[in-house]
């Protein structure tokens, strides 16, 4: 069973369980699912527990002014499977036994702990309204979501309910605004003296001009 067939089988079972979720399949065999903010967390839990999407590749958001953000998650299901592509795997244990003369010697059909091929990929999209940008956090489901959600919060200003440590991550705490929003312009925000974390006063400044202006 290829990736595309697996995706359409998955689409059918999602339609059955979650009739409100709109799905489509991309030409590359990825499933795209659109959920409402209300059903977002339940749907994610279902994907992880029932469909085996254990790997979260990324979380990001796109701003579509004036009314919505689109939260985007990219998930992979992988694991040992009968029809996974044949994989030549090299075990480092062999290398440890061979000792220090490895070049050209070490290829062997080892028995790895887990041969993982991508069985399916899904893109989960969820519209978050501009006037109330709050969505449940998926950090309890995938620990890796922690920093990805902090980044979305930092740069896009979407708040994640139930996140263990929702702080800015890339920008300093005092930074005004969220730069990846389409209405963000950096210049006025940082030029205004009151937006600065500390006042800049030069001892020889007489005419009120900024140094370098």
Partner 1 sequence: MPDNLRSTPITMPDEGARELVVNMGPQHPSTHGVLRVKITLNGETLEAADPDIGYLHRCFEKISEGLTYPQVMPYTDRTDYVAAITDEWAYALAAERLLGVEVPERAEYIRVIMGEVQRLLSHLIWFGSFAMDMGAVTPFLYAWRERETGYDFMETVTGTRQLYNFLRIGGVRNDIDDDGWQALDRFLKAMDQALIEYDTLFTKNPIFEVRAKGIGPLSAEEAIAFGASGPVLRGSGVARDLRRDEPYSVYDRLDFAVPVGSSGDAYDRYLVRMLEMEQSLRIIRQAIKQIPPGDIQGKVPKAMKPTGEAYARVEAPKGEVACYLVGNGTVNPYRMHWRSPCFTHLQLLPHWAPGNLVADMVVLIGTIDIILGEVDR
Pairing of strands 134-136, 159-161: parallel
- For residue 68, the SS3 value is strand
What angle is formed at CA 172 by the lines to CA 74 and CA 208, rounded to 5 degrees? 140
Three-class secondary structure of residue 25 per DSSP: strand
85 binds partner 1 (CB under 8 A): yes
**Interface of this chain with partner 1, residues 122 to 141, rule: CB under 8 A:** 123
- Of 70, 78, 69, give the one whose Cα is nearest residue 123: 70
Residues 128 and 69: beta-carbon distance below 8 Å: yes
Mark the segment that binds partner 1 (CB under 8 A) among 12-20, 130-138, 170-178, 197-205.
170-178
Chain positions 13 to 72 lying near partner 1, rule: CB under 8 A, are 28, 30, 54-58, 60, 62-63, 72
Smallest separation (angstroms) from partner 1 to the CB of 208: 30
Q: Rule CB under 8 A: is residue 147 a binding residue for partner 1?
A: yes
Residue selected from 37, 39, 112, 176 as contacting partner 1 according to rule CB under 8 A: 112
Question: Looking at beta carbons only, is 16 or 67 nearer to partner 1?
Answer: 67
CA gap 79, 54 in Å, rounded: 9
d(CA 85, CA 177): 47
Question: Can you give the binding site for partner 1, defined by CB under 8 A?
Answer: 28, 30, 54-58, 60, 62-63, 72, 74, 78, 85, 87-93, 95-96, 99-104, 106-107, 110, 112-118, 123, 142-144, 146-148, 151, 155, 169-172, 179-180, 184
């Amino acid at each position: 069973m290829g990736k595309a067939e697996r995706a359409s089988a998955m689409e059918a079972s999602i339609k059955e369980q979650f009739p409100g979720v709109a799905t489509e399949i991309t030409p590359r065999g990825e499933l795209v699912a659109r959920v409402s903010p209300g059903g977002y967390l339940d749907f994610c839990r279902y994907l992880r527990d029932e469909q085996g999407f254990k790997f979260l590749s990324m979380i990001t958001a796109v701003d579509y002014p004036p009314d919505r953000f689109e939260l985007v998650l990219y998930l992979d299901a992988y694991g040992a499977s009968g029809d996974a592509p044949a994989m030549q795997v090299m075990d480092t244990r062999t290398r440890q036994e061979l000792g220090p003369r490895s070049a050209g010697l070490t290829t062997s059909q080892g028995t790895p702990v887990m041969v993982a091929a991508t069985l399916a990929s899904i893109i989960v999209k969820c519209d978050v309204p501009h006037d109330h940008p709050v969505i449940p956090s998926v950090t309890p489901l995938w620990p890796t979501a922690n920093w990805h959600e902090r980044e979305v919060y930092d740069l896009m200003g979407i708040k994640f309910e139930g996140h263990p440590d929702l702080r800015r991550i890339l920008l300093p705490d005092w930074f005004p605004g969220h730069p990846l929003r389409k209405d963000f312009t950096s210049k006025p925000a940082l030029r205004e003296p009151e937006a600065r974390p500390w006042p800049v006063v030069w001892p020889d400044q007489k005419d009120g001009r900024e140094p370098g202006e």
